[in-house]
Structure 1
Amino acid sequence: DDAWAVDLAEKDDGNLTDSYFLKKRTFRNIGMVIAPLVAGLVVKHYGMTNLWLIYGMGIFIATLFLIFAKNTNHVEIKENEIEDYKNVFTHSRKTWDFIRKHKIVSLLFVAIFIFFVVEEITSLVWTPYLQSHGLPLPQIGYLFSLIAGLGILTPLITERILKNKSKLSILTTTTLIYAVALILAGVYSRLLFISIIFVITYSLEEIIEPLEDSVVNKYLQSKIRATALSLKSVVTSMASIVGGPLAGYILGILSAEKALMLSGILFMIIPLVYSLAGKRTF
């Protein structure tokens, strides 16, 4: 869906790509705020069964939007081309070769991999870390609600900042703040302080992830975009596969404080990658 949307955005106005990813994040967070409230009301008054009915209706309505959405290029595909798997593998190989030879895209994929590995580690650390310092589980849930609320505004504010700053400069700054914040959360472990850091880091993700998507798409040609984004999904999946066991191992040998500090140090690689990419192009 992203490849299709970006092709449409670039066809009409290249600047719409940033707006698409940021507004997509905003609408996602609006849904995250509204969905629990709706679910709670439905379960309370009508029962769990009706919740599935509403979910199904939502999927149906979303499908209708896609059916009537605009297409970029309608190409008639011959039957023998569909059955020709060799073309699929050839296209995938060419896309991989493009990524491997395009140094900036390769660097961005490395940054994405590290980001999701660190996210796997920190996602396992934060809840028990906050609980160990006296924050009850329901209040951690309130912090997530606050993050979702801030996530509605954060992409919109970022869109305004983009009028004066480049994507890569914003990414360099936000990822550096993210890394320093993780290190500080491990150094100074007062409850109020680490709660603020928790909110800040998750809120920064609302800037990092959509801009990261926008930057990657900027360097991808339309004809390989869909395949390249599929490979990007493979990279994020591999990061989750690696990050989960790595997080378990780290938490087995290190305290939560040291795990956060290690995550911050590892995350320092990402602003370096964006800085290098920025010097080469932006």
Structure 2
Amino acid sequence: MLFKKDELKHLWPFYLYLLVSGLSTMITPFYLLYFLHLGYSFFEISVIMSCAGVTAFLFEIPTGAFADGFSRKYSVVVGALIIAIAVMFIPIVKNYYVILLLYIMTGIGDTFMSGAQEAFVIDNLNSKKRKDLHQEYFIKSSSFLALGAVFAPLLGALLVKVYSIEILWYIYGFGFFFTAIIITFFTKENFKPKKLKLLDLFKESFQTSKIGIAFSIRQKTLFFSIVAGIFMCIIKAGAIGTQPFLISLGLKEYQMGYVFSIISVVCIASSFASRLFTRFKSKNVLSVVILIVMGLLFSLLFIYPPFFILGTIIIITKSGMLNLGGPLIQSYLHQVIPGRFRATIISTMSMANQLASTLAGLLAGFCVDLFGPQRVIAFSGMFGFIAIFFYQKMKD
């Protein structure tokens, strides 16, 4: 059976908004091209992306503590609304600095959602004594997002071909509005924080943050996972030039939607394929995956026009491989995270990834302007050796 007993009863609102969120991501294959059309350089675009990352780094722990100390449900709702409003203003303005400000808002909104979203679901399942649904949620949440993303790029390609990229920003914003509505009216929060006054709440939140950070450092498996994740972020940052690289090989701009649609299909398959590896140690599966990804990225050095099909196949395969290990590591880490600090610790991990992604993104944008997308994408994979080293130090 596709769903376990009462799985939809407990998780249908989350699966539904994840599906709609996936459908709303029509902008994903085209946002870089949108900013290039505005005349921004790769470095300027990386600064825009980094503003969201820096903001997320600064706000991750306070907002994670807010979720632990006040409400995980309404932390997600507030975050979704902030992002929705900011995103819908992006196609209206053309000024570079205003767009920077809007991306800062998306960073703040993202920190309200990150950590709180997973903790919200896990705590609800634990209260129903359904820990057996943890891995089901992580596998299917990734799959529902990917399922929506299968059709989103196809629709995005049609809209870009007929209209323009601008309309896709509005659709993306709608997805976050839908998330806020579903969470507000169709989900119940079983997490019961202490009732505190506002000042006491912030004191309690920062104290919780300190304890959560200390635990993340002291618990070696978590610490090594965080460090390995940082270097995985660096690998992903190197992909900033993927869209213009494929176009330089001969791919049509609107066809980028088709490529991302196929990537989503592959990601769905890889998410379910992760079930096949549950009998193996997570760190070993991740290490093999990273080695394959490194080989695929390096092979891009030898792809030139007009072989855009070969380059596209490599990019698609790489994306599927990176998606393979995600559900395994997520499910494993939640077994070693104490429930009381779950949102804060997840936020700590997200914060480290945000900082790494920010710094790597700035460097990648500068390097792409200097050396071109092809070389940067290929050599970013070399950081996989360091990620493998730290994953192997984790205890299974």
**Same fold by TM-score greater than 0.5:** yes
1:245 aligns with 2:362: yes
Query: Closer, same or farther in 2 for the Cα pair 1:255/1:76, shift >3 Å?
Result: closer
Residues 33 and 145 in structure 1, CA contact (< 8 A), matched pair in contact too: yes
The 2-side partners of 1:93 and 1:133 are apart by 49
Correspondences of 1:52-91 after superposition (within 5 Å)? 59-60=177-178, 63-64=181-182, 67-75=185-193, 77-79=195-197, 83-91=200-208
Question: Could you say what secondary structure the match of 1:71 adopts?
Answer: coil
**1:219-258: per-residue Cα shift (whole Å, max 9, x none)?**
2111111111122222222123212210022224434443
Q: Which amino acid aligns with 2:294?
A: A
Greater displacement, 7-16 / 257-266 = 7-16
Q: Which amino acid aligns with 1:27?
A: F
Question: CA shift at 1:56, angstroms?
Answer: 5.3
The TM-score normalised by the length of structure 1 is: 0.81
Query: Closer, same or farther in 2 for the Cα pair 1:231/1:195, shift >3 Å?
Result: same
Q: How many residues align?
A: 271
**1:138-161: per-residue Cα shift (whole Å, max 9, x none)?**
3333111111122233212222x1
Query: Closer, same or farther in 2 for the Cα pair 1:155/1:247, shift >3 Å?
Result: same
Question: Could you say what secondary structure the match of 2:325 adopts?
Answer: helix
The 2-side partners of 1:226 and 1:58 are apart by 20
Query: Closer, same or farther in 2 for the Cα pair 1:218/1:62, shift >3 Å?
Result: same
The 2-side partners of 1:120 and 1:57 are apart by 25
Residues 228 and 387 in structure 2, CA contact (< 8 A), matched pair in contact too: yes
1:143 to 253, 256, 259: 259
Instruction: Show the counterpart of 2:5.
Output: none
The 2-side partners of 1:119 and 1:194 are apart by 17
2:287 to 146, 152, 172: 172
Instruction: Show the counterpart of 1:183.
Output: 298
1:261 aligns with 2:378: yes
The 1-side partners of 2:292 and 2:203 are apart by 46
The 2-side partners of 1:57 and 1:179 are apart by 34
The 2-side partners of 1:99 and 1:219 are apart by 10
Q: Which amino acid aligns with 2:352?
A: V
1:105 aligns with 2:222: yes
Correspondences of 1:194-209 after superposition (within 5 Å)? 194-209=311-326
Residues 9 and 17 in structure 1, CA contact (< 8 A), matched pair in contact too: yes
Alpha-carbon RMSD across the aligned residues, in angstroms, is: 3.2
Residues 10 and 16 in structure 1, CA contact (< 8 A), matched pair in contact too: no
The 2-side partners of 1:89 and 1:56 are apart by 33
Question: Could you say what secondary structure the match of 1:138 adopts?
Answer: coil
Residues 274 and 327 in structure 2, CA contact (< 8 A), matched pair in contact too: no
Question: CA shift at 1:83, angstroms?
Answer: 3.4
Question: CA shift at 1:117, angstroms?
Answer: 2.3
1:153 to 260, 269, 275: 269
Query: Closer, same or farther in 2 for the Cα pair 1:184/1:53, shift >3 Å?
Result: closer
1:33 aligns with 2:167: no
Question: Which structure 1 residue ranges, 5 or more long, are not aligned?
Answer: none
Question: Could you say what secondary structure the match of 1:196 adopts?
Answer: helix
Instruction: Show the counterpart of 2:235.
Output: 118
Question: Could you say what secondary structure the match of 1:83 adopts?
Answer: helix
2:391 to 266, 274, 280: 274
The 1-side partners of 2:126 and 2:350 are apart by 22
The 1-side partners of 2:352 and 2:255 are apart by 34
Greater displacement, 29-38 / 172-181 = 29-38
Residues 155 and 207 in structure 1, CA contact (< 8 A), matched pair in contact too: yes
Question: CA shift at 1:129, angstroms?
Answer: 2.0
Query: Closer, same or farther in 2 for the Cα pair 1:15/1:167, shift >3 Å?
Result: farther
Question: Could you say what secondary structure the match of 2:337 adopts?
Answer: coil
The TM-score normalised by the length of structure 2 is: 0.60
Quick one: percent identity of the two aligned structures? 22
Residues 120 and 243 in structure 1, CA contact (< 8 A), matched pair in contact too: yes
**1:107-133: per-residue Cα shift (whole Å, max 9, x none)?**
111122222222122132x22222222
Question: CA shift at 1:10, angstroms?
Answer: 4.9
Query: Closer, same or farther in 2 for the Cα pair 1:77/1:170, shift >3 Å?
Result: same
Question: Could you say what secondary structure the match of 1:117 adopts?
Answer: helix
Question: Which structure 2 residue ranges, 5 or more long, are not aligned?
Answer: 1-116
Q: Which amino acid aligns with 1:63?
A: I
Query: Closer, same or farther in 2 for the Cα pair 1:172/1:16, shift >3 Å?
Result: farther
Q: Which amino acid aligns with 2:249?
A: H
1:234 aligns with 2:348: no
